[in-house]
């Protein structure tokens, strides 16, 4: 069933907590709801607003926001040690991770506590601690607004990369993700190689699913602000990927600079480190600031407008460019 709102405040629908308005917002459950919504053509301005965890409204939105609310998780089939599940777009991501851990299914535990809904996971291919959504997503079900029909896209056609997918590019503004098919494993597959994960897991008694989930939650809680307490959208910037000679030059000057080889021969740098070393960690201007414990995250200390946040973000980008000659792009969607 559709639920419809007009001139609605978005303050509780975006994790930054900025108080912009939308002209119209529609919550949907089923593909039939979407057929009904688009029966009279495609509105001139519309977009999906999922959990609002990766978006910054810099002004009021004068179009239609479409929000998935269906929250079903079901087992589809088992093949050897794989279990295929179907997850509706409105499921809270972390509820899905908890469900998988309870059912003794491996694959999602490193992605514990990432805020947002399942339907948004493939869009930016959410990732953390050496895992990403693309490791387990096998198919994406979606409603095509141009043809008003349901489509299914297999993972190889989803264009997954580091915080990338076709949903951010060719399919942007053309489809609404309604469900995911995912492949989880009954066989233990611990991934402990990233940062402090192994140490935190060992401290809890070894690599069980539950211990990995708890270790990841503890690490995240120690570094990342809780959006229900302090408005934020997780990493505000993407880690920049640069040509190898650019990284080498910087490393000659800053030998302790974190750097990770990318599959294409380029080098991924840590935007958090760059911002930190530019002296911006903990910097606050008015109601906006760089988080004290993770420089990749910008926070709303309360009452910040989207315009204030973006003006501050531009300053951060500018100072990093001045100091290191590196452009850091926003990871958060700007509207
Ligand atoms: N660093 C600093 N200062 C900081 C932050 C980081 O020096 O303020 C250094 C760290 O010491 C480390 C390096 O930068 O050497 C990388 O930091 P970290 O391991 O914390 O990860 P990240 O690159 O800052 C990425 C994701 C996070 C994800 C973590 C863990 C992006 C844009 N961000 O952050 O994702 O949780 O790795 O896997 O890729 C998100 O997308 O919202 C998010 C939080």
Which residues are designated catalytic?
163, 235, 331
Rounded distance between C-alpha atoms, residue 136 and residue 139, angstroms:
9
Nearest CA to ligand 1 atom 32: 238
Distance from Cα 204 to the centre of ligand 1, integer Å: 23
pLDDT digits 0-9 by tens, 207-221? 999 999 999 999 999
In this predicted structure, the answer to whether residue 40 has a pLDDT above a threshold of 90 is no
pLDDT digits 0-9 by tens, 4-35? 999 999 999 999 999 999 999 999 999 999 99
Distance from Cα 295 to the centre of ligand 1, integer Å: 8
Task: Tell whether the torsion through CA atoms of 181, 186, 191 and 192 is positive or negative.
Answer: positive
Give long-range contacts, CB 8 A cutoff, 24+ apart: 8-12.
10/49, 10/52, 10/57, 10/61, 10/65
Rounded distance between C-alpha atoms, residue 291 and residue 271, angstroms:
13
Beta strands in 186-320, from DSSP E residues, in sequence order: 231-235, 241-242, 259-261, 267-269, 284-285, 288-290, 297-300
Rounded distance between C-alpha atoms, residue 77 and residue 282, angstroms:
49
Compute how many other C-beta atoms are within 10 angstroms of the C-beta atom of residue 24.
18
Instruction: Please check whether residue 219 is in contact with residue 200, taking contact to mean a CB–CB distance below 8 angstroms.
Output: yes
Compute how many other C-beta atoms are within 10 angstroms of the C-beta atom of residue 264.
8
Percent of the chain residues topping a pLDDT of 70: 100
* Adjacent-strand bridge partners of 106: 185
Q: pLDDT tier at 156 (50, 70, 90 boundaries)?
A: very high
Distance from Cα 296 to the centre of ligand 1, integer Å: 7
Check residue 162 and give its pLDDT.
Answer: 87
Instruction: Return the best residue to mutate from 56, 97, 296 for the ligand 1 pocket (most ligand atoms within 8 A of CB).
Output: 296
Does the Cβ of 234 fall within 6 Å of ligand 1? yes
Does the Cβ of 150 fall within 6 Å of ligand 1? no
Single out the residue of 22, 95, 91 nearest to residue 50, CA to CA: 91
Tell me the mean pLDDT in the region 89-109.
Answer: 98
Q: Which residues contact 122 (CB under 8 A, 6 or more apart)?
A: 133, 134, 137, 140, 158, 160, 165, 167, 177, 180
Phi, psi of 300 (to 5 degrees): -100, 110
Q: Which residues contact 335 (CB under 8 A, 6 or more apart)?
A: 47, 55, 56, 57, 58, 59, 61, 306
Q: Which residues contact 17 (CB under 8 A, 6 or more apart)?
A: 11, 227, 231, 300, 302
Nearest CA to ligand 1 atom 13: 270
Distance from Cα 251 to the centre of ligand 1, integer Å: 18
Check residue 42 and give its pLDDT.
Answer: 86
**CB-hemisphere CA count at 13 Å for 175?**
26
Sorted by where each starts, the structural domains of the chain and their CATH numbers stand as 3-68 (3.30.43.10), 73-185 (3.30.465.10), 231-334 (3.90.78.10)
Does the Cβ of 331 fall within 6 Å of ligand 1? yes
DSSP 8-state code for residue 331: -
Distance from Cα 333 to the centre of ligand 1, integer Å: 18
Q: pLDDT tier at 43 (50, 70, 90 boundaries)?
A: confident
Rounded distance between C-alpha atoms, residue 199 and residue 32, angstroms:
48
pLDDT digits 0-9 by tens, 259-292? 999 889 999 999 999 999 999 999 999 999 999 9
pLDDT digits 0-9 by tens, 214-256? 999 999 999 999 998 999 999 999 999 999 999 999 999 999 9
CA distances from 177 to 118, 121, 142, 154 (A): 9, 10, 4, 13
Does the Cβ of 295 fall within 6 Å of ligand 1? yes
CA distances from 151 to 154, 175, 183, 260, 320 (A): 10, 9, 19, 36, 42
Nearest CA to ligand 1 atom 28: 128
Q: 3-state class of 150 per DSSP?
A: strand
Q: pLDDT tier at 195 (50, 70, 90 boundaries)?
A: confident
């Amino acid at each position: 069933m559709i639920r419809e709102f007009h001139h609605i405040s978005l303050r509780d629908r975006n994790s930054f907590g900025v108080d912009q308005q939308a002209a119209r917002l529609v919550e949907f459950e089923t593909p039939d709801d979407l057929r009904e919504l688009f029966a009279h053509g495609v509105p001139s301005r519309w977009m999906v607003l999922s959990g609002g965890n990766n978006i910054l409204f810099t002004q009021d939105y004068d179009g239609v926001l479409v929000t998935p609310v269906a929250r079903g998780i079901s087992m589809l089939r088992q093949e050897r040690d794989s279990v295929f599940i179907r997850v509706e777009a409105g499921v809270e991501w972390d509820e899905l991770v908890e469900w998988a851990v309870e059912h003794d299914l491996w694959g999602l535990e490193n992605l514990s506590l990432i805020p947002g809904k399942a339907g948004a996971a493939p869009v930016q291919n959410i990732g953390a601690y050496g895992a990403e959504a693309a490791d387990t997503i096998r198919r994406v079900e979606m409603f095509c607004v141009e043809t008003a029909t349901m489509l299914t896209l297999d993972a190889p056609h989803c264009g997954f990369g580091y915080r990338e997918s076709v949903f951010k590019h060719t399919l942007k503004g053309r489809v609404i993700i309604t469900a995911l098919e995912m492949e989880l494993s009954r066989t233990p597959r611990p991934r402990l190689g990233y940062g402090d994960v192994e140490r935190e897991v060992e401290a809890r008694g070894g690599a069980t699913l539950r211990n990995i989930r708890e270790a990841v939650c503890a690490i995240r809680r120690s570094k990342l602000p809780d959006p229900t307490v302090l408005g934020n959208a997780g990493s505000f910037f993407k880690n920049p990927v640069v040509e190898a000679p650019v990284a080498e030059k910087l490393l000659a000057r800053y030998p302790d600079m974190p750097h990770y080889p990318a599959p294409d021969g380029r080098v991924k740098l840590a935007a958090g480190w760059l911002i930190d070393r530019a002296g911006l960690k903990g910097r606050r201007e008015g109601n906006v600031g760089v988080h004290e414990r993770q420089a990749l995250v910008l926070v709303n200390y309360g009452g910040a407008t989207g315009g204030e946040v973006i003006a501050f973000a531009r300053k951060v980008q500018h100072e990093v460019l001045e100091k290191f000659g590196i452009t850091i792009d926003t990871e958060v969607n700007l509207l």
